[in-house]
Structure 1
Amino acid sequence: MFLEEKSYLIMAQNSSEMLVINKLLNKNNIETDLVPAPPEWGTVCAIAVKVKGADLEKSKNLLHSAGINNAKILEDRKLKLQGLIDKKLGLAVSERFLEILKKIENGDELLREDIVYLLSTDKKREIDAIFSAADRIRKETVGDVVEIRGAIEFSNYCRKNCKYCGIRGQNSEIKRYRMTEEEIMEVVGYLHSLGLRTVILQSGEDPYWTMPKIINILRKVKETTGMRITLSIGERPYEEYAEFKKAGADNFLLKIETTNRELFKEIHPDDDFDTRLQCSKWLKELGYINGSGNIIGLPGQTVEDIASDIEFFRDMGINMIGIGPFIPAKGSPYEKLTPGDIAMTLRTVAVTRIVCKKVYIPSTTALATLSKDAQVWALNAGANTIMLINTPKKYRSSYNIYDNKNMVDLEAAVYAVRKAVNRKLPSYLKLPSYLENPDFDFAAKQEGML
């Protein structure tokens, strides 16, 4: 990560060229970073190669010598915002908060203590201003379209024993399942018929799903639908991540969950923080759209821990950030603990948007589980993605990573986006005719009246 010194972004035509450029520059002793591409570049390649201003001319010469002439170069400019501070606000907030807002307006990087302040303040006008700033940055960086993605939870077997998780290996109270390849592809076909462009293949860390089996699924999805694929299958060796990328995986979600090493060790009795960190670095190096996230309300977690998580997302150039409250799961050591706080989770969503700017932030299923309205609240706090649960009904209740999971469906997503927050659904989405009807009664449908 580069501070203060002017830097530039090299924009490749696609992810393969981006990796070639990055490797070429590193080989010639030019320090680079892989970061989310700026809004004006669109979606051609979601990752940019960042270089210091002092290395710009050498980088240009190397690209020219290698015959890479289509790459574009942009100055890495600050996102400047006007109008966050008005006279009325100045009378109702602290001087410290005004200083932080001025930084946000100017596009300056927030320090750890700034992030802690935003997460900690209990002044209503300051909290309102935080959400307003997050929503403004969301609009400026990723626009008004809420991305819709479909998830398939294809196995609930897991070799790990995370203390908060209901599918931990030692939990004997749940019914285990593995979907067949045919079942997976049937759901993929349905998602494709809706026009969805991304399918999320998620499971526990299941040894049955070996690299060849995963690769076979990846190739089938690509060959039959051309959809983008997000994998969320846990920690794997570098070689497997590399082969999954070659076979068609575009994104990978591997949550850090907490950056506090001691807390990580406590909640992951058979895991290692440095291994998780190394996996995230490998995924970034391999050119994945890199996903991470954290859990709000873990026992012993502090506001400083959450601030550290947000800094990690920023400094690692994470592209997708899932932020959800802790929810107890039956059969886990934490089953009797209190759920995480919705308000703090929403505040974390907002501050993450402010700090990380152009990233995908889902309005998580966990939030929707604690309150049906929380999904809407998260969209207003800076979130821009909704994940539909498309696991077959006969398996859904067994993917019990936490209790009473809200199975967010297409109707819930359409209601949240169009009716509740007046945002836009993606143009690729093919809605059933009844959902296109502006007079459709969502409330009555949810209550079983239609």
Structure 2
Amino acid sequence: MVLRDKFIKKDSSEEESVLICSSTHHMLQADRLLRQHNFKVELVPTPRGIGSACTTAIRFAKNLKEEIKDVIMATDIDWKGIYDIEKKNRLEDWKDIWNLEINSKFSRVLKKIAKDEVLNISEIKTLLKANRESELEALFLAANRIREEAVKDTVDVRAAIEFSNYCHKNCNYCGLRRENKNLTRYRMTEDEIIKVTKEIYELGIETVILQSGEDPWYTTDKIVKIIRRIKEEFGMKITLSLGERTKKEYKVFKEAGADNYLLKIEAANKDLFNQIHPDDNYEVRSKHTKWLKELGYITGSGGMIGLPSQSIEDLAKDILFQKKYGIHMIGVGPFLPANNTPYAEYKSGDLITTLKVVAVMRLVCQNVFIPATTAIASLDSEGQEKALESGANVIMLIMTPPQLRENYEIYSNKNMVDLDWAVESIMAANRKIPEYLNLDKLNRIDRSEVDARYTTG
């Protein structure tokens, strides 16, 4: 085939299609091949109605469909099909929303969402500026309905092991920063990590999150040994959250069995990013995010709401960053100050703004995982319930050993979310408890209270 430039300018109204492959390996092969042929393609979470939010599709302009099909068919790439992205029209179904007392500008933006039209930054800001009770009701109703369409009613429950609080970085907001001399440091051994993973496995949870500060003491070989033991002994999905590593390390971790990688941008405004990360680089962080996508990880990112000097436009840019990079798991939560940091005296982010960001993130990104974060639960005892009602669909338990938890102080006064807390939040939000949970492990809740609500997703 003669290579020619297909990097055409694409506007927001252009019809699109996606290529779905049989495995991550074949998807990455197809992505490389199409880029070599100069097709403009993007790796994105698989659109709703076509596949799961935890898989990746290759998106391109619909008018390139036949050419791309010819290229793929000339190879041994195993692909399932090419699907047009169908736009829905929910105007009639959302009549109750239009009957609420909302202004015409706000209504116009929500109607674009109802018709699956792409929002620009100005329109995203319009939604984030909602402050009247009726506008907030409309926003959260719309987000919850898109959530129901995209990821259904079951709340995914995962669990984190914060296995080291050593960090060689010096982020201004984080209590793990290297200059915090008042923090008791710890590192868990491989066997200690495996022991806690077994406890998580016995809860029925299918995904373990291995989280730490940026601690080079845990070499590539040490992390690989932990990944392989978890896979061999429990067969669980593994999310790594280790900060920035080399591309070679990311590749080795993936080959060893890591499924997901969480690397938050925290702030998509370059100046704000540099302000809160004095020894990090925005371009480097963005490049690492691309690497993770290219290596086939289910990628996680996210940001904080209420950072010093953060504006509504900054929050809109955060949402567009997640959309642009095709992030699968988007964790957003309020900024909470940590003791012994330069930001210790700043006020926390507020709950309503955080919930608005969760809702607009769902409306813009749609078929993705959005946690009701631990930070939200730490800010407000009903925060996770409210986040679930605003478009979130994941809760993460803290399974770090009790004697170590207080020292993993990214922020102070953290709510140590456990299985009972998660189940209570899910029930309060009138959402479904996942079938895989072992509810015999509940401590504070009477099992009989939840049996009637226990259902599959």
Q: Give the match for residue 187 of structure 2.
A: 178
1:282 corresponds to 2:291 = yes
- What count of residue pairs does the alignment treat as equivalent? 440
CA spacing shift, 1:44–1:89, aligned 2, 3 Å: closer
1:100 to 79, 86, 109: 109
Q: Give the match for residue 455 of structure 2.
A: none
Whether the 8 Å CA contact 2:140–2:359 is kept in 1: the answer is yes
The Cα offsets for residues 19-55 of structure 1, whole Å up to 9 and x where unpaired, read as 1111121122222101111233344961101122232
The Cα offsets for residues 350-378 of structure 1, whole Å up to 9 and x where unpaired, read as 11101110110000000100111111000
One-letter amino acid of the structure 2 residue matched with residue 404 of structure 1 = N
Q: Matches of residues 321-360 of structure 1 in structure 2 within 5 Å?
A: 321-360=330-369
How many Å apart are 1:239 and its aligned residue?
Answer: 1.1
1:169 to 166, 169, 178: 178
How many Å apart are 1:433 and its aligned residue?
Answer: 6.3
Q: Give the match for residue 425 of structure 1.
A: 433
Distance 2:272 2:47 in 1: 34
Q: Matches of residues 270-419 of structure 1 in structure 2 within 5 Å?
A: 270-418=279-427
Q: Give the match for residue 250 of structure 1.
A: 259
How many Å apart are 1:224 and its aligned residue?
Answer: 1.1
The Cα offsets for residues 66-120 of structure 1, whole Å up to 9 and x where unpaired, read as 1335422110222432446538845722111121121011010011111001111
CA spacing shift, 1:103–1:436, aligned 2, 3 Å: same
One-letter amino acid of the structure 1 residue matched with residue 284 of structure 2 = T
One-letter amino acid of the structure 2 residue matched with residue 192 of structure 1 = Y
The Cα offsets for residues 402-450 of structure 1, whole Å up to 9 and x where unpaired, read as 00100000000111112x012112222222165572337xxxxxxxxxx
Q: Give the match for residue 72 of structure 2.
A: 63
CA spacing shift, 1:168–1:81, aligned 2, 3 Å: same
More divergent stretch after superposition (119-128 vs 132-141): 119-128
Distance 2:15 2:448 in 1: 49
Distance 1:118 1:104 in 2: 11
How many Å apart are 1:259 and its aligned residue?
Answer: 1.1
Specify the SS of the correspondent of 2:265.
coil
Distance 1:393 1:142 in 2: 33
CA spacing shift, 1:318–1:79, aligned 2, 3 Å: farther
More divergent stretch after superposition (236-245 vs 85-94): 85-94
Q: Give the match for residue 122 of structure 1.
A: 131
2:147 to 117, 132, 138: 138
How many Å apart are 1:255 and its aligned residue?
Answer: 0.7
More divergent stretch after superposition (191-200 vs 354-363): 191-200
Gaps of 5+ in 2: 1-8, 451-457
CA spacing shift, 1:433–1:392, aligned 2, 3 Å: closer
1:17 corresponds to 2:17 = no
Whether the 8 Å CA contact 2:376–2:383 is kept in 1: the answer is yes
Q: Give the match for residue 447 of structure 2.
A: 437
Instruction: Say what the alpha-carbon RMSD is for the aligned residues.
Output: 1.8
CA spacing shift, 1:135–1:385, aligned 2, 3 Å: same
The Cα offsets for residues 364-396 of structure 1, whole Å up to 9 and x where unpaired, read as 000100111111000000000000000001110
Whether the 8 Å CA contact 2:336–2:349 is kept in 1: the answer is yes
1:28 corresponds to 2:37 = yes
Q: Give the match for residue 47 of structure 2.
A: 38
1:155 corresponds to 2:164 = yes
Q: Matches of residues 198-213 of structure 1 in structure 2 within 5 Å?
A: 198-213=207-222
2:95 to 67, 86, 92: 86
One-letter amino acid of the structure 1 residue matched with residue 349 of structure 2 = G
Whether the 8 Å CA contact 2:164–2:213 is kept in 1: the answer is yes
Q: TM-score, normalised by structure 2?
A: 0.93
One-letter amino acid of the structure 2 residue matched with residue 438 of structure 1 = S
Q: Give the match for residue 50 of structure 1.
A: 59
Distance 2:206 2:336 in 1: 30
One-letter amino acid of the structure 1 residue matched with residue 429 of structure 2 = V
One-letter amino acid of the structure 1 residue matched with residue 141 of structure 2 = S
Q: Give the match for residue 5 of structure 2.
A: none
Residue identity (%): 46
Q: Give the match for residue 448 of structure 1.
A: none
One-letter amino acid of the structure 2 residue matched with residue 137 of structure 1 = I
One-letter amino acid of the structure 1 residue matched with residue 295 of structure 2 = L
4+ residue runs of structure 1 moved beyond 3 angstroms?
41-45, 82-91, 433-436
CA spacing shift, 1:66–1:412, aligned 2, 3 Å: same
Distance 1:45 1:269 in 2: 33
How many Å apart are 1:237 and its aligned residue?
Answer: 1.3
Q: TM-score, normalised by structure 1?
A: 0.94
Whether the 8 Å CA contact 1:153–1:201 is kept in 2: the answer is yes
Distance 1:45 1:439 in 2: 31
More divergent stretch after superposition (58-67 vs 336-345): 58-67
Whether the 8 Å CA contact 2:17–2:61 is kept in 1: the answer is yes
Specify the SS of the correspondent of 1:270.
coil
Gaps of 5+ in 1: 441-450
Whether the 8 Å CA contact 2:53–2:151 is kept in 1: the answer is no
